[in-house]
Structure 1
Amino acid sequence: MLHNLSFFIGRRYIGAKRRSHFISFISSVSMIGLTLGVAVLIIVLSVMNGFERELRERILGMVPHGSISGQAPIEDWESLRERMLAHPEVRGAAPFIAETAMLISDRESRGALVTGVDPRYLSEVSIIENHIVSGSMDALQAGNWNIVLGESLARQMGVVPGDRINMLVPEVSVNIMGVQPRFKRFTVIALFKVGAQLDSDTALVHIEDAATLKRMPGKVQGIQLSFDDLFRAPAVTRELAFGLQGRYQFSDWTRTQGNLFQAIQLEKRMVGLLLFMIIAVAAFNIISSLFMLVTEKQSDIAILRTMGARPSQIMGIFIVQGGLVGTIGVILGIIFGVIGALTVADIVAAVERFFGFEVLDSGVYFINYMPSELRFDDVLLVGGASLVVAFLSTLYPAYRAAKTLPAEALRYE
């Protein structure tokens, strides 16, 4: 523990007037640099955490964690579903039929992934029922030929619940008129919005209607799965598929969304590393200011040494000064960083409204707003690492001060 003398003198040096105003300027720059570095790092990590959370809860809440489909249509899908649910890591299972189709309204035509679902089991593998913004899914019943659209897709096509659209599937039918594509007219009954790209390219129909279109009545394409631990999805999906008799294909979310998740993780690490350089620069400024202070205070150091101060006490004086500069900068950075992380979404929304543009375009990014999730462990890591860097930056200048020889320092006084 530092002696009281070291702390007293080191604290006095913080507010004392100096012959060189440049030293005070460098100390101020060091403190401001630490504040900005810590604050920006906390805000950026919180935003990256927010993107990760939205990917996990929204995107991976909409798409299945895993799926198993047969090379031929599956007839006894109920027993297959029960077998999937028997696995202790499977949270939910639901049959599906997926088809890429062209949706045509009076105003526009758009391609979309149309998925046939069973409303009884849909909530086990998807959060879509919690994000209905218009209409109701209660009318999604077999034989009614109803459809649920993403809000962006419906807006692009110019339709609302109650309107009718045509669906063109890629399969063709042969009749007396020759070879013709297969059309079917659907009624829009509901719109969903999860604030992601899925809003612009996803549609749902009843699974029996999809089976009729696919000419496989009573059969399904496969089973969609959700897991308690989504990171176990690849291994468990593979295990379930290999345990089945017959020829089955399997897939999981890492094949469709995995690159996006890995990109967010990589960007979080790289951005954090780059922003930490701001803190490193501030630490070098602390070293520079302490070296100049040691030079300015040579006579004071010599007088203290002649009065009996030990080298460790001299060293402690400058550790205290540099440590206080670092501590104040880090504390201010944590305060501003926490405030910024909690309000960044509102700030970005206000900027968007004021300037009339979107920072995140849903047509480009998988969400259309700035997410943020403040985590205590990130604050602790950034604050702790910054304090350690600031403390280490004081050691060498303080050591040089402690090695000052009184006779040499006072020779020209």
Structure 2
Amino acid sequence: MTETGKEKGLLRHIPLGAAATTLALLASVGSAFADEAPKIDSGSTAWMLTSSALVLMMTIPGLALFYGGMVRKKNVVTIVAQNFALTALMTVIWTVITYSLAFRANPSEAMNAYIGGFDRLFLRGMDVNAISGVIPESVFMVFQMTFAIITPALITGAFADRMKFSSMLAFMTLWAIFIYAPIAHWVWGGGFLGTAGVLDFAGGTVVHINAGIAGLVTCLVLGPRKGYGHENMAPHNVILTMIGASLLWVGWFGFNAGSELAADGRAGFAFVVTQVATGMAALAWMFAEWLVHKKPTLLGMCSGAVAGLVAITPASGFVDPVGALWIGLAAGIICFVASTSVKRAIGYDDALDVFGVHCVGGIVGALLTGVFATMAVTGATAPVGAIDGNWGQVMTQIKGIAYTLVYSGIGTFVLLMIVKIFFGLRVSPQEEVEGLDINLHGEVVQ
């Protein structure tokens, strides 16, 4: 494992002030253990294997069912097929190139701040003895693979009902290589944002803001669905959506608690605050919707829960339960407003509210991580977040948000234009009216 990979596994969650102290301590005792090889911890390895399976479950069947229930009946096969196909496609791409680009060190020190190297193409050089922290590198690799799977899958909700299947595959291939891998490297793989002290425990910037802004750009480029604003486009099966949301909720414990990369007290705390924030966000969305629209809907409760899961993701290894309550409350209310009032006012057709829940929720979570991150959870000896007196962390979080929004937003637009030239982007008007299921896949739900 390269030094970059080790930093991801051992130091990525330590604030900069504490990191300096930790490095000094490691240096002081390093000579005493120079001849002692790193050892795999079997308990942590077992937890990380479990976490990897939980995060994979978030995409198939979790996200597939969550999205599948929200589209119209004539397009349910398509959205589920997109998620299933992306699971397979991202697995291969991660194996071939994007793992190496995200988490390996670039031979050029100057370039390592922006992108990794190529020494793990096709996972060459990885064997049973390769270690990342206290787990095998193979386990670390596959855990991170599940993140690389769900991130592009999230984007499919924004352009639901109108994109060609072939174009989707081409676009996501390019997006994984040129957008996801660099941003993952910036934050987690030894790149400039992680070095600058941006806190992202499990993917607020790398996954949710990244996918959310890409979803917004994609739905703007494609334009609204035919009949949008005039026809009834209500979810065809909200029970499927509830089942999918429930699978996401359960799987998210692997997402957040697994990001500690060990089975320890901090993983347990990440587990606790994930549950607390999600419950609060579901209630906040429910009561906000009840107040505004006079009825608490199941779809609203599910959306609120996902908003809470999104917002606690960057904060899960840094905040205590009180911070989690505030993050959940803010996410539930703000994401409700973004997905309803703001969306209607602007008029963009983000079919399944990817921007309103994932990008906005990710921003809320990233900002409030800078507020509520505390020494009591991180074990740091220097102030971490604003609650400890370090208001500068909020500005650092804003930096991470801004770089992600700009790079992913502009990069997504460029990639869409390239795909449009070679493949086109949108299905024909007739195919859209008849439904993508029968026209693209020759299958329908009875």
Compute the TM-score of the two structures, normalised by the length of structure 2: 0.21
> Greater CA radius of gyration, 1 or 2?
1
Q: Which structure carries more helix by proportion?
A: 2
Point out which structure has higher relative CO (alpha carbons under 8 A, 6+ apart): 1
Higher fraction of strand: 1
